[in-house]
A and B are shown apart, each in its own frame.
Chain A
């Protein structure tokens, strides 16, 4: 990357271990001394075998997991914030405006139709419901989710349909940093290509993307750089 691009995310000396009190206090080390920089407009893909801590890393950055040591520095509305030390209210504000996360699985909310699940993050930012639904409809349409499904709760949708609803929800707010944990695992080649297009558009608009893609074709299509990871040796 050129030195003129804006640094968006910086990890310094990141450690993560789990202390399992129900298993005689066993300790699981998943990340140790990890450093990473992510700039606006780039797409860094985490690579490495399963068990290397890729998903855990994304969860630590999203503040879903608490780091054991180190800093998760995020550029949030022109100031820097360390999520490892931020208050819950600060983390929520960063998630609303700056940091998006799309997992493999849609968290279905009973009785809420697909269109509203997608629109919700925009409504939370204060946008009018009608406008938010229009934007949601646009994304669902682009992702080939049939219109007859939009008014239904996605609990009974296929895995691929749920995944596309989840991607639409994750991308509806144009956030400066996007974390993607295999968001295309259950999609066919055509729909993967559409997701690749949407990600290219997000990057073009200045978003920084950090993701996990096991599919090699998808990885080659979206990655500007790979970040290799390895499982830690048992201590």
Chain B
């Protein structure tokens, strides 16, 4: 099978400080890859550099778009990068308030990405929005309510609906369940698990929670101080970790 995303020797620095250094990986269609590591290990920096939200200092990110053509992200114009983010990608942020528009209704939040793709038919937009609210287990009668009236878990589910409604081929997720209660987390994880399977999404997810990686990802990358120290099948990494840092991470968890 051919890859969807190819990352090669990607580096990004914050002045003297290393953000991420010499990172390479492939992502295949339908595959969810987790990036784990503690705070400051460079996970989010890497995610943002791959998703073209930050500009890397060196290395390359190549993406195979819907028509089969490979794109070198660094060579794209800002407009083309925005088109890609709109038409083929999705991004779920840790804090749903960063990914939502708080001053418009839940329904408009979901419909907005569809409108950006040119869909204009009001009743069709409303119907799709309602369908997606149901899909993420939000009562469709809340369609006209502002997200500010939602709980944190509901806001996160709304952000997921807003992201997936355009059927992206590739989704980036930055700690989508951090900062939520455990019961709320379980619900969102189950939701993500089902949607990823049903839609055949490819996704890169950053998490500090090894149990999340075990549940969702077939493959995992472990980062420390901006570098990938170990990569492989998630169950291998958690059950037979090789690198001292991975062993420390795994042995520090109560249960995975």
Of B187, B190, B233, B244, which contacts A21 at CB under 8 A? B244
Q: Which of A60-68, A176-184, A195-203 contacts B (4 or more CB under 8 A)?
A: A60-68
Residue of B nearest to A123 (CB): B197
Please tell me if A91 contacts chain B, counting CB pairs below 8 Å: yes
Docked-complex contact A66 and B186, CB < 8 angstroms = no
User: Please, how many residues of chain B have a CB less than 8 angstroms from a CB on the other chain?
Assistant: 23
User: Which of B197, B233, B251 has most A Cβ within 10 Å?
Assistant: B233
Docked-complex contact A22 and B244, CB < 8 angstroms = yes
Minimal beta-carbon separation of B124 from chain A (angstroms):
27
Q: Which of B157-201 contact A (CB under 8 A)?
A: 186-187, 189-190, 193, 197
Please tell me if B218 contacts chain A, counting CB pairs below 8 Å: yes
Q: How many A-B residue pairs have CB under 8 A?
A: 49
Docked-complex contact A64 and B189, CB < 8 angstroms = no
Docked-complex contact B218 and A66, CB < 8 angstroms = no
The interface residues of chain A, by DSSP majority, are classed as mixed
CB contact under 8 A between A88 and B232, given known A22-B244, A64-B240, A66-B242: yes
- Bits for B192-222, please: 1 = Cβ < 8 Å to A, else 0: 0100010000000000000000010011000
Known: A65-B236, A123-B197. 5 other contacts (CB 8 A): A22-B248, A22-B251, A64-B235, A88-B218, A110-B186
User: Which 10 A-B pairs give the minimum distances between C-beta atoms?
Assistant: A21-B244, A110-B186, A65-B240, A111-B190, A88-B233, A21-B247, A64-B235, A88-B219, A64-B239, A22-B247
Provide 22 A-B residue pairs closer than 8 Å at the C-beta atoms, listed in order of the A residue: A18-B240, A21-B243, A21-B248, A22-B244, A22-B247, A22-B251, A59-B239, A63-B233, A64-B233, A64-B235, A64-B236, A64-B240, A65-B239, A65-B240, A66-B236, A66-B242, A109-B190, A109-B193, A110-B186, A111-B186, A111-B187, A124-B197
